[in-house]
C-alpha cells in the first residue's frame, strides 16, 4: 500500500528563475513540464496542491526602480510576469490531464479567474490544482509573501519552498564543501540567523499561522512526492 502522505493540503512556491532552466531568461517549457509532473504525482497521492510562481525569470520591479523608474509600475510588471508563468504551468498540467485553475490577485477576466479565498478553497476541495497568480496584488511585496499569505488563507498544512538545493545549509553548498544541511530549524532561527530562504515577511507570516516551511530542491524529479511520502531530502522549518 502506498505510504500515506504527510500533508493533506500544501502550497508550493517556485521562483520564476526555476522555470528558465539553462536559459538566461523566460520559460523553458521542458522544465515547466517536469515541475507539472511532480505536481501530478502529488495529486495522485491525494494531496491538495496550491502553487505560487514568481516572475523573476521575466521581470522584477526593482529593475525599474534601480534605473530611476517608478517602483509601483515596475512591481505591476513583475506581477504580470507571474501571470505569464502561471498560465504556462496550467498548460503543462493540462497536458498531463491534471485539472488546474489560475486565480489572479489582479482581475483579468479574459485570461483567468480572480482570486477569492472562497473560490480557491472550493476548487481545492474539488481536487483541482489552484495556481495563485499576480502575487499578493500589491506592489512592494514578493511572491514568497504571496505564498505564505495564500497558505494561511486556504489553511495549508505546509508551505513547500522549491529552491536550487535540497534544504537550508550552514553556508552556500555550491561554494563551501564543508556546508552542512539542517534537518530542522524554527521560523525564529531562520529569521535571527538571516538564513535567506524566503523573505522575512513570508517567514513571519508562516510562523504566526503555524505553517511549516519545507525547503527542498525543485530540480530533483520526484523530490516533491518523495517528501510528501516522508522520504525525501529537505529542511523542515517549524516551531
Ligand atoms: N511582485 C509584487 N507584489 C507581489 C508579488 C510580486 O509587486 O505580491 C512583483 C515584484 O516586482 C517582484 C516580481 O513581481 O519582483 C516577481 O516576483 P518575485 O520577485 O517574488 O519572483 P521570484 O523571485 O520568486 O521569481
pTM for the model: 0.97
Point out the ligand 1 atom lying closest to the alpha carbon of residue 13. 24
Tell whether the model's pLDDT for residue 14 goes beyond 70: yes
Residue 53 lies in a domain: yes
Which of 20, 51, 59, 61 should be mutated for ligand 1, with most atoms under 8 A from CB?
61
pLDDT of residue 173: 87
Residue with grid cell 499576480, as numbered in its chain: 134
Domain ranges, residue 178: 9-237
Give the residue numbers of the binding site for UMP. 55, 75, 136-143
Instruction: Kindly report the protein residue whose alpha carbon is nearest to atom 22 of ligand 1.
Output: 54
Residue 44 lies in a domain: yes
Tell whether the model's pLDDT for residue 1 goes beyond 80: no
Ligand 1 pocket (Cβ < 6 Å) reads: 15-17, 54-56, 60-61, 74-75, 78-79, 81-82, 135-136, 138-139, 141-144, 146
For the segment 170-185, the average pLDDT, to the nearest whole number, is 93
Q: Rounded to the nearest whole angstrom, what is the distance from the C-alpha of residue 178 to the centroid of ligand 1?
A: 32
Residue 4 lies in a domain: no
CA–CA separation, 27 and 39 (whole Å): 18
pLDDT of residue 2: 60
User: Which tens digit of pLDDT belongs to each residue from 22-32?
Assistant: 999 999 999 99
Residue 141 lies in a domain: yes
Residue 142 lies in a domain: yes
User: Which tens digit of pLDDT belongs to each residue from 156-167?
Assistant: 999 999 999 999
User: Which tens digit of pLDDT belongs to each residue from 102-145?
Assistant: 999 999 999 999 999 999 999 999 999 999 999 999 999 999 99
Q: Rounded to the nearest whole angstrom, what is the distance from the C-alpha of residue 16 to the centroid of ligand 1?
A: 9
Confidence of residue 70 (pLDDT cuts 50, 70, 90): very high
Residue 89 lies in a domain: yes
CATH number of the CATH domain containing 222: 3.40.1160.10
Residue 95 lies in a domain: yes
Q: Rounded to the nearest whole angstrom, what is the distance from the C-alpha of residue 89 to the centroid of ligand 1?
A: 17
- Total domain count for the chain? 1
Q: Rounded to the nearest whole angstrom, what is the distance from the C-alpha of residue 17 to the centroid of ligand 1?
A: 11
Q: Which residues contact 53 (CB under 8 A, 6 or more apart)?
A: 13, 14, 15, 16, 19, 82, 85, 86, 89, 131, 133, 143
Q: Which residues contact 135 (CB under 8 A, 6 or more apart)?
A: 52, 55, 78, 79, 82, 105, 141, 142, 143, 145, 146
Residue 3 lies in a domain: no
Point out the ligand 1 atom lying closest to the alpha carbon of residue 137. 8
Give the residue numbers of the binding site for ATP. 13-16, 56, 60, 163-164, 169, 172
Tell whether the model's pLDDT for residue 15 goes beyond 70: yes
Tell whether the model's pLDDT for residue 3 goes beyond 80: no
Amino acid at each position: 500500500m502506498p505510504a500515506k502522505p504527510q500533508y493533506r493540503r500544501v502550497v508550493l512556491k517556485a521562483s520564476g528563475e526555476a522555470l528558465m532552466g539553462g536559459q538566461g531568461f523566460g520559460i523553458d517549457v521542458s522544465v515547466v513540464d517536469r515541475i507539472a509532473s511532480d505536481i501530478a504525482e502529488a495529486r495522485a497521492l491525494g494531496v491538495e496542491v496550491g502553487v505560487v510562481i514568481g516572475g523573476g525569470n521575466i521581470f522584477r520591479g526593482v529593475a525599474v526602480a534601480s534605473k530611476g523608474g517608478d517602483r509601483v509600475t515596475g512591481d505591476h510588471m513583475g506581477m504580470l510576469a507571474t501571470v505569464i508563468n502561471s498560465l504556462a504551468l496550467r498548460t503543462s498540467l493540462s497536458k498531463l490531464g491534471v485539472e488546474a485553475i489560475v486565480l489572479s490577485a489582479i482581475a483579468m477576466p479574459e485570461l483567468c479567474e480572480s482570486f477569492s479565498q472562497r473560490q480557491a478553497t472550493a476548487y481545492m476541495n474539488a481536487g483541482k490544482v489552484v495556481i495563485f497568480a499576480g502575487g499578493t496584488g500589491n506592489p512592494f511585496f514578493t511572491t514568497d509573501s504571496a505564498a505564505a499569505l495564500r497558505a494561511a488563507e486556504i489553511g495549508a498544512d505546509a508551505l513547500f519552498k522549491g529552491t536550487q538545493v535540497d534544504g537550508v545549509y550552514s553556508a552556500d553548498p555550491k561554494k563551501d564543501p564543508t556546508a552542512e544541511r539542517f534537518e530542522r530549524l524554527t521560523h525564529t532561527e531562520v529569521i535571527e540567523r538571516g538564513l535567506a530562504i524566503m523573505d522575512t515577511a513570508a517567514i513571519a507570516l508562516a510562523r504566526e499561522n503555524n505553517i511549516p516551511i519545507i525547503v527542498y530542491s525543485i530540480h530533483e524529479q520526484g523530490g516533491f512526492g518523495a517528501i510528501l511520502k516522508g522520504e525525501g531530502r529537505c529542511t523542515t522549518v517549524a516551531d
